[in-house]
Chain A
Amino acid sequence: MSAEMILFIPLAILAVVTAIAMLFSRNAVYAALFLITNFAAVAVFYLILSAPFIALAQITVYAGAIMVLFLFVIMLLGAEQTGRTPSSWWLQPLSLVLGLILLGEALFFVFSQRGAFPAGGAPSPAFGNPVMIGEVLFSQYLLPFEVTSILLLTALIGAIVLSRRRA
């Protein structure tokens, strides 16, 4: 068993367990904290997959900015305790069955097509470093990058308009 495999298995278990804990925790604050742990575990996967820039963006943008916004709204609304009142008795068993079917199909597809995936040898040391990302981002993907700024501006204005108190 290689060193990467020894690192992969506990991290995969951590990611799956925190995701399931998020799914079943009653307190929304705990759910948010479990999700932050999950994002941190996935950030370590990005580091293993030679994507250090994406890993740090994951920590700052996802685990930092987005989840702080979530925690802020949860505490602002006082919505920590979530009553478990399913509207129909068949809703939860049905969603469990549908989810298991989805998981079974996805795993069957992945592991039956396993031979088609490239093996992925060790990439060059420069692969995925911020210099390379920046060069591709500001040459080949310049237009999508600029459109992103318009998207963020639209989201900013939309959030302000939605949260404005009506007279």
Chain B
Amino acid sequence: MVPTAYYIGLSAILFTIGTMGVLIRRNSIVIFMSVELMLNAANLAFVAFAHAYQAVSGQIFVFFVMTVAAAEVAVGLALIVAIFNTKQSIDVDQMNTLKG
């Protein structure tokens, strides 16, 4: 039996790696993948607690998070393609048109 705390600790580690990916990388597609990694870490925590509390609602919530992630990816990648078509680059440092 693996303690629940180990799963939550692993989830925290994966979430932190995702956060550092968002902060360090400049390629907007890799930043997007890091956001997916963070969502996945949150899902792991949900499933671990669902197992610990014997509550199936946690697994249902993971199902909804997956749906929202799919919608987010569809819109986000369309945005990236649109930005690439106007700027010929997906580097986040190039997206500074709103800078005052």
In the complex, which residues of chain B have a beta carbon less than 8 angstroms from the beta carbon of A38?
14, 37, 40
Q: Which A51-87 residues sit within 8 Å CB-CB of chain B?
A: 51, 53-54, 57-58, 61-62, 65-66, 69-70, 73-74, 76-77, 79, 82-87
Contact of A66 among B5, B53, B70 (CB under 8 A): B70
Q: Which residue of A lies closest to B39 (CB)?
A: A62
Interface positions, chain A 1-16, Cβ under 8 Å from B, are 2, 4-5, 8, 12, 15-16
Interface of B is mostly: helix
In the complex the two chains form, is A106's CB within 8 Å of B12's CB? yes
Q: Is the CB of A62 within 8 A of B2?
A: no
Q: B9: which A residues are within 8 A, CB to CB?
A: 106-107, 110-111
- Residues of chain B contacted by A87 (CB below 8 angstroms): 26, 93
Nearest Cβ on chain A to B94's Cβ, whole angstroms:
10
- Number of chain A residues whose Cβ lies closer than 8 Å to a Cβ of chain B: 85
B15, B54, B57, B90 — which one has the most chain A CB atoms within 10 A of its CB? B54
Q: How far is the CA of A79 from the CA of B25 in the complex (A)?
A: 14
Beta-carbon contacts under 8 Å, A105-133 to B: 106-107, 110-111, 114, 117-123, 127-128, 132-133
Q: Which residue of B lies closest to A158 (CB)?
A: B75
Out of A5, A53, A162, which one reaches B79, CB within 8 Å?
A: A162
Determine the residue in chain B with the shortest Cβ distance to A8: B2
Interface residues in B37-78 by Cβ distance below 8 A to A read 37, 40, 43-44, 47-48, 50-54, 56-57, 59-60, 62-64, 66-75, 77-78
B4 touches A152 (CB 8 A): no
Q: Mark B3-43, 1 if CB is under 8 A from A, else 0.
A: 11111111011111111110111110110111011001001
Partner of A32, one of B8, B23, B33, B78: B33
Q: Which residues of A contact B30 (CB under 8 A)?
A: 22, 28, 31, 82
Q: A54 vs B62: C-alpha distance in the bound complex, in angstroms? A: 7
Contact in complex: A114, B20 (CB < 8 Å): no
Extra 6 A-B pairs, beta carbons < 8 Å, given A45-B10, A92-B24, A152-B70: A22-B34, A23-B21, A91-B23, A99-B17, A110-B12, A119-B1
